[in-house]
Structure 1
Amino acid sequence: MTTTLDRTASRAPSPGLPARLSLTPRTALAGRLDGAWWPRSRDLAAELPPLADALEGRWGRITRVLVNPDHWPVVPHKVADTDHVLHVGWFTEQDPDKIILLSYTTGRCDLLVIPPETEPASAARLMTAAALPGSILTAGGLMSDEAATGRRMQEARSSEDAWESEGGATPAPQPHPAAHSVVGARMIPLPGYMRVTTWRP
């Protein structure tokens, strides 16, 4: 992917949908990540203002953002938010699947970045995993694990399809007995996307 590093561009945020975000609990044991972010595009100038606004209540005003340019076709030097400017930096040494946001009041927030084109079921798993309290998994590790999970699920579907095409029949799925007793992330369907809330013990 070719990345353009735009040192001067800034753009006013356009009104739109809120950031798709999953955060660890405030009192949780610190882990490698503070949650996950699922942007709708690879346009940082459009995606960063809603993210910064969503984080302000917990991390204070976000002033600086650090990314790896591998997944962003254009990296603007500055992005206009509602009433201030976000300064954007880039480092090729940074995990390409992570974004770092900095504020003067609370410090640093590290988020897994889920690619915009990710399937909703896969994104939901990643958002849940990234918000686990005290997790030692890195952003890249979570993405690798999810890729392996996706491959296993695809292989299982292929085997099932082959079995059915040879005359087998798949029994109707039965709910897992513990499916309704798990305390953890809740998925709330909202218009146009799925939002995964934080873990609540």
Structure 2
Amino acid sequence: MTTTLAPTLSARLSLTPKTTLAGRLDGAWWPRSRDLAAELPPLVDALEERFGRITRVAVNPTRWPVVPHKVAATGHTVHVGWFTEQDPDKLILLSYTIGRCDLLVIPPDTEPAAAARLMTAAAVPGSVLAAGALMSDEAATGRRMRDARSSEDAWDTDGGSAPAPLRHPVVGARMILLRGKPRR
């Protein structure tokens, strides 16, 4: 009997370009689920070329239903710790070579357009915005976009924009709708 493992999906990741401008975040990560044991190995693999061997990860347990103590990565084990004082929207990764990497964690159920905006904002070199601030800004932006769409819909459906007058099929005269009935 042969066991076939499902292919591991690559990490959805956006990193700041290598510059001298240090910011509060080193980028953003958009996991596909809230399962740290499944999500961390592809993230660690994706980061090791730039940051060296990742040895420890710190999370806030508010966003993760289960926080394992250790996670197997390619060729080594990553120790996972949790701290309630840490920003719940941030993941901290530690390596022996580079030191520390702070990533914004975008919730798995985030719409792709919002995730793209967050990934771009978190990767701006020298940004002073914290993870929580980026998430709050995106929530406000998303609300404004939804409110604008619903306002336009309400305007169109609640009588805000008048329909064009109808033409009488025989005479060609204009008709105006009053209380849903055509009138000449």
TM-score where L is the length of structure 1: 0.75
For residues 81-160 of structure 1, the aligned pairs below 5 Å read 81-160=73-152
Structure of higher CA gyration radius: 2
Matches within 5 A, 1:1-201: 15-165=7-157, 166=159, 168=161
The TM-score normalised by the length of structure 2 is: 0.82
Deviation at 1:168, TM superposition (A): 3.3
Structure 1 unaligned spans of 5+: 1-12, 170-201
Structure 2 gap segments, 5+ residues each: 163-184
C-alpha displacement of 1:14: 6.0
RMSD: 1.4
| Residues in 2 aligned to 1:141 and 1:131: alpha-carbon distance in whole angstroms | 14
Partner of 2:67: helix, strand, or coil?
Answer: strand
Q: Which amino acid aligns with 1:131?
A: A
Deviations 1:59-83 (A, max 9, x none): 0110100000000000000001111
Residues of 2 paired with 1:15 and 1:94: CA distance?
32
Q: Which residue in 1 is equivalent to 2:167?
A: none
Local SS of the residue matching 2:103: strand
Q: How many residues align?
A: 157
Deviation at 1:28, TM superposition (A): 4.6
Percent identical residues = 81
